[in-house]
Structure 1
Amino acid sequence: MIALLSAPTNLGLRPPSPGRLPGTWRAPEALRAAGLHRRLVAAGAVDGGVVAPGPYVDDDGRRPPGTIRNQAAIVEHARRLSRRVVELVDGGRTPLVLGGDCSLVVGAGLALRSLEAGRRRGLVHVDGHTDFRHPGNSDDYGSLAGEDLAAAVGRHLPEVADVDGLGPYVEPARAVHVGCRDDDEHAAEVRGLLADVVPAAEVVRVGGAAVAERVLAVPGLPGGFWLQVDVDVLDPRWMPAVDSPDPGGLDPDQLVELLRPLAPWALGASVTVFDPELDPDGRYAATVADVVVRGLGALGSRR
C-alpha cells in the first residue's frame, strides 16, 4: 500500500534570483490541490505525513570552502526523512515521497542502507540531467539538487555522500540513469561508472516499456531499488515549471510508459523539482499529478 509522504524541501537549489527562495517547497500541497492525494487514496493509498526541512539560507559568499549550500540542514533533513521512510517500509507501506528538490535522494539513500542491513539496494534515477556535478569534475559544485546522483554513489563530499558512515548509499553497478539530454556535460563520466545510462532521445526512439525492460535486466535491481523521478525529464513543452528546463525530453505518455513497469518492483519512489511558483494557473501541477497516478499507481505492488 502506498504511503504519500511530503518532503517540501528547497535546500538543494540555487536562489532563482537575489532574495528569492526556490518554490519547490510548495509542490506537495500544489499536487494535493491538483487531486493527486484524492486519486491515490481512492485507490487505497494512505497519507504518510510530512518531513519538513530546516530553513533555507542563501549563504553564497559566506559559505566556507569545501561545503555545499544548506549543508547541515540537508543532512539533518536526510536523516529524518530516512527514519520516516524506514518506519513506513517496516510497517508494510511503500513510500511515495513528494518533493521538494532532489537533494532528498540522500535521505532515500540512507533509508536504503538501513533496510535489511547488509543487503545492497539499487537506484533508478530518472532525470533530465545526470545530476553528477561534484568536486572532482567541477569548481562550480555546491547545490546538491544538481549533484544528487554523484552523492548517492559516493562521488561527492563525504559530508553528504557518507553520512553516518553509510556511503556509498548505492553501488554504481546497481544504479541506472534514464533521461539526460544528449549534450549533458557529465554523461560520459556517468556512462563509464553506472550499470546503464539511457538518454531521453533513446527512450523516445525505442519506447518507455523497452527501456524499463532493459533497466529491470540489470543484476540485482528487481530485488529492490529506489525510483527517483525528477519532472524535468519532461520536455519544456509539457513541463516548464522547473528550475532547469531543457528541450529534448519526454512527453507525459512516454514517461508513464517508462514508469509503469518499473514502479511495481520499487521499494519506494520520489518525485521532485516541480515548482508551483512557475505554474500560476495549476495546469502543470495537473500534469505531474496525472503522470504520478498513471505511472506510479502500482508502486511496490510486486514486492
Structure 2
Amino acid sequence: MFVARWSLSRAASVSGSVSGSFCRIPVRTCSGKRFNVPLSAEFVARVSGIPTMARLPHQDTADGLDAAFIGVPIDTGTSNRPGARFGPRQIRTESALLRAYNSGTRAAPYESLRVADIGDVNVNVYDLKDTCKRIRESYRKILATGCIPLTMGGDHTIAYPILQAVAERHVPVGLIHVDAHADTSDVVLGEKIGHGTPFRRCVEEGLLDCKRVVQIGLRGTGYSPDSFEWSRAQGFRVVQAEECWFKSLAPLMAEVRAQMGSGPVYLSFDIDALDPGFAPGTGTPEIAGLTPIQGVEIIRGCRGLSMVGCDLVEVSPPYDTTGNTALTGANLLFEMLCILPNIKYY
C-alpha cells in the first residue's frame, strides 16, 4: 500500500513537461518514487508540446514501467481502405484531450502505475512478414521487463505477433476480441498473414485457450451462410452484434468475467466494432454496430481480470474527417489503462 500526495513543483524530465511550467506530481510517501503524470491543461495548453499518448512522457524502452503505450503503424495487411499506418500518430494527437482521472469509475491510473509512451515499433512497410518479426521481437523485450503493453494500431494483423510474444510468457491466453469481423480466415488472396487471419494463426499455434475466447460485435455480410462457424467450432463464444442491440452489455461482461476466470487475458479491440456512424475512420466499416457506450461497458467489464495486454486497432485517419474516430480510440485506450491490475480507485 502507499499514500499518494500531490506536490506542485517545477516539472522534472520524468513528468515530460516544458521547462519552467508547473504540474502536479504524485509521490509515494513510503519510497519517494515519482510516477509519470500527464501534462495538465491547467498549466500547459493542449496545443503545446510534442504529442505523446495522453501527454505522458516519452521514453525509449519499457524499463521501469508498469504499463506502456506503444504504436504499431502498419496497414500492409489491410484488405480494403488503407490509412491505419497513421492511426497511432492521430490517436496521440487527439489524446491531448484526456485528463488524469476517470470520472466514471474514479480510477486514478497515474497514482497507481508508472506509465509512459515508448514510441513505435520500427516496422517495415514493404514486407509484412518482416514487420511481424519486428513486432514479435519488440514485444518480447517489452514483456521481459514486466510491463503491460497498450497498443495503438495499425491494422489487426499486429495482434498475431503480439500474441506470439504474450503467449511465450502467459500460454495459453484468454482473449476478449471486440470486432465487426471474426478475423479467422485461413487464406486471403493466397496469403496466410493479414488483418483477416490473425486469430486463425493464433489457434493453430496453440497461443489461445479456446474455452476462454469471446468475440463480441460480429456482423455484416459473409462468404458463407455462417461466417462464424469456425470460431464456434473451436469453442469460442460468439456474440453477434444483433445480440447487443438496444442493451447494456454489463450483464454480458459479468458472464465473460466468469468465463475468463483467473487466467491471463488479452483484450483486442477493433474500432470497426463500433457503428460507422460513431467511428467512420476505419478500413472495413459495417453498419449496425456497437455504440461507444457499449464499447466502454465492455472494457470496464474487464476490471478484475488478469490483463496482460490490450490493443486498439484499425483507426484510419484519412477516413476520419472530424478526428472523432481517433478521439474515441484514445478514450478507449485510457479506459483500458484504467482496468489494469493494481489500479487505485477513489
- Which has the bigger relative contact order, CA under 8 A and spacing at least 6? 1
Does 2:201 correspond to 1:151? Answer: yes
Q: Which residue of 1 aligns with 2:85?
A: 25
> CA contact under 8 A between 2:72 and 2:123: conserved in structure 1?
no
Q: Which residue of 2 aligns with 1:300?
A: 340
Does 2:266 correspond to 1:226? Answer: yes
CA shift at 1:244, angstroms? 0.6
The unaligned stretches of length 5 or more in structure 2 are: 1-65, 102-107
Q: Which residue of 2 aligns with 1:267?
A: 308
d(CA) in 1 for partners of 2:279 and 2:177?
18
Do the aligned partners of residues 229 and 36 (structure 1) sit closer, same or farther apart at CA in structure 2, a change above 3 Å counting?
A: farther
Q: Which residue of 2 aligns with 1:180?
A: 218
Does 2:304 correspond to 1:238? Answer: no
Q: Which residue of 1 aligns with 2:45?
A: none
> CA contact under 8 A between 1:9 and 1:53: conserved in structure 2?
no
Query: Which has a greater percent of helix?
Result: 1
Does 2:78 correspond to 1:13? Answer: yes
| CA deviation vs aligned residue, 1:50-85 (integer Å, no higher than 9, x gap) | 34243323xxxxxxxxxxxx4422331332232144
d(CA) in 2 for partners of 1:50 and 1:227?
20
TM-score scaled by length of structure 1: 0.78
Q: Which residue of 2 aligns with 1:102?
A: 156
SS state at 2:310 partner? strand
> CA contact under 8 A between 1:30 and 1:276: conserved in structure 2?
yes
> CA contact under 8 A between 1:268 and 1:299: conserved in structure 2?
no
Do the aligned partners of residues 290 and 38 (structure 1) sit closer, same or farther apart at CA in structure 2, a change above 3 Å counting?
A: closer
Q: Which residue of 2 aligns with 1:162?
A: none
Does 2:88 correspond to 1:50? Answer: no
Do the aligned partners of residues 102 and 273 (structure 1) sit closer, same or farther apart at CA in structure 2, a change above 3 Å counting?
A: same
State which structure, 1 or 2, has the greater radius of gyration over its C-alpha atoms.
Answer: 2
User: Could you list the runs of 4 or more consecutive aligned residues of structure 1 that deviate by over 3 angstroms after TM superposition?
Assistant: 36-43, 138-143, 182-185
Which amino acid is 1:123 matched to? L
> CA contact under 8 A between 1:130 and 1:184: conserved in structure 2?
no
> CA contact under 8 A between 1:241 and 1:278: conserved in structure 2?
yes
**Percent identical:** 23
SS state at 1:173 partner? strand
d(CA) in 2 for partners of 1:203 and 1:5?
31
Q: Which residue of 2 aligns with 1:64?
A: none
> CA contact under 8 A between 2:74 and 2:153: conserved in structure 1?
yes
Q: Which residue of 2 aligns with 1:34?
A: 94
Q: Which residue of 2 aligns with 1:78?
A: 135
Do the aligned partners of residues 174 and 184 (structure 1) sit closer, same or farther apart at CA in structure 2, a change above 3 Å counting?
A: farther
How many residue pairs match? The answer is 265
Q: Which residue of 2 aligns with 1:67?
A: none
Do the aligned partners of residues 146 and 207 (structure 1) sit closer, same or farther apart at CA in structure 2, a change above 3 Å counting?
A: same
d(CA) in 2 for partners of 1:194 and 1:205?
27
| CA deviation vs aligned residue, 1:166-207 (integer Å, no higher than 9, x gap) | x22113223221110164552122122233111122123542
Which amino acid is 1:254 matched to? Q
Do the aligned partners of residues 168 and 71 (structure 1) sit closer, same or farther apart at CA in structure 2, a change above 3 Å counting?
A: farther
d(CA) in 2 for partners of 1:229 and 1:40?
22
Q: Which residue of 2 aligns with 1:157?
A: none
TM-score scaled by length of structure 2: 0.69
Correspondence list, 1:105-184, <5 A: 105-115=159-169, 119-135=171-187, 141-142=191-192, 144-154=194-204, 167-181=205-219, 183-184=221-222
Do the aligned partners of residues 52 and 2 (structure 1) sit closer, same or farther apart at CA in structure 2, a change above 3 Å counting?
A: closer
Which amino acid is 2:209 matched to? E
Do the aligned partners of residues 81 and 230 (structure 1) sit closer, same or farther apart at CA in structure 2, a change above 3 Å counting?
A: farther
| CA deviation vs aligned residue, 1:200-237 (integer Å, no higher than 9, x gap) | 2212354221121121222x543211100000000011
Do the aligned partners of residues 232 and 114 (structure 1) sit closer, same or farther apart at CA in structure 2, a change above 3 Å counting?
A: same
Superposed CA RMSD: 2.6
SS state at 2:338 partner? coil
SS state at 2:150 partner? strand
CA shift at 1:36, angstroms? 5.6
d(CA) in 2 for partners of 1:287 and 1:34?
9
Q: Which residue of 1 aligns with 2:28?
A: none
> CA contact under 8 A between 1:11 and 1:73: conserved in structure 2?
no
The unaligned stretches of length 5 or more in structure 1 are: 17-21, 58-69, 155-166
d(CA) in 1 for partners of 2:277 and 2:155?
21
> CA contact under 8 A between 1:263 and 1:300: conserved in structure 2?
yes
> CA contact under 8 A between 2:80 and 2:284: conserved in structure 1?
no
> CA contact under 8 A between 1:125 and 1:176: conserved in structure 2?
yes
Q: Which residue of 1 aligns with 2:291?
A: 251
d(CA) in 1 for partners of 2:304 and 2:70?
18
